[in-house]
Amino acid sequence: MEYVIGCDVGSQAVKAILLTAEGQRVAECGADYAIQYPRPTWAEQDANDWIAALTKAIHGLLKESGASPDQIRAIGLDAQVDGLVPVDASGAPLRPAIIWMDRRATAQVERIRERCDPAGVFQISGLNLDPYHVAPKIRWVADHQPEIFDQAHRFLLPGSFVANWLTGQLAVDYSNASSTLLMDVRTKEWSPELCRLFEIPIDRLVPIHPATAVLGGLLPDIAQTLGLSPHTRVVLGCGDEHAACLGAGVVEPGLVCDITGTAEPIGAASAHLHFDETGLVETHCHAHPDLWLLENPGFVSGGTYRWFRDQMGQEEVGRAAQTGADAYELLDQAAQTVPPGSDGLIMLPCLMGAMTPTWNPQARGTFMGFTLTHEKRHFARAILEASAYALRDITDRMQGMGLGLGEIRAVGGGARSPLWRQIKADVTGLPVTLLHTVETTALGAGLLALVGAGFVGSLEEAVELAVRVVETRQPDPAAQAQYESYYQLYRETYFTLLPVFNRAARMKA
Q: Which CATH class is domain 3-248?
A: alpha beta
Residues in the chain: 509
pLDDT tens for 67-82 read 999 999 999 999 999 9
* Per-residue pLDDT, 509: 61
384 vs 424: CA distance, rounded Å: 9
For residues 79, 85, 90, 94, the Cα torsion angle rounded to the nearest 10 degrees is -150
* Per-residue pLDDT, 500: 96
429 vs 431: CA distance, rounded Å: 7
Distance between start and end Cα atoms, the chain: 59
**How do 85-87 and 255-259 pair as beta strands?**
unpaired
76 vs 488: CA distance, rounded Å: 42
191 vs 7: CA distance, rounded Å: 30
Q: What string of DSSP letters covers 256-305?
A: EEEE-SSEEEEEEEESS----TTSSSEEEE-SSTT-EEEEEEEEE-HHHH
Q: How far is CA 377 from the centre of its chain?
A: 28
408 vs 255: CA distance, rounded Å: 6
* Per-residue pLDDT, 508: 72
Specify the DSSP class assigned to residue 482: H
Strand ranges (E), 335-430:
346-348, 366-368, 407-411
* Per-residue pLDDT, 23: 95
Q: How far is CA 302 from each of CA 36, 208, 415, rounded to the nearest angstrom?
A: 17, 31, 10
Give, for 235, the enclosing helix (H) or strand (E).
Answer: strand 233-239
Spans of the chain, pLDDT less than 50: none
CB 245 within 8 A of CB 410: no
The DSSP bridge partners found for residue 209 are: 173
Q: What are the sequence ranges of the domains in the chain?
A: 3-248
For residue 39, the SS3 value is: coil
Cα atoms found within 13 Å of the Cα of residue 166, Cβ hemisphere only: 33
CB 104 within 8 A of CB 262: no
Q: Residues of the chain with pLDDT > 90: what percent?
A: 96
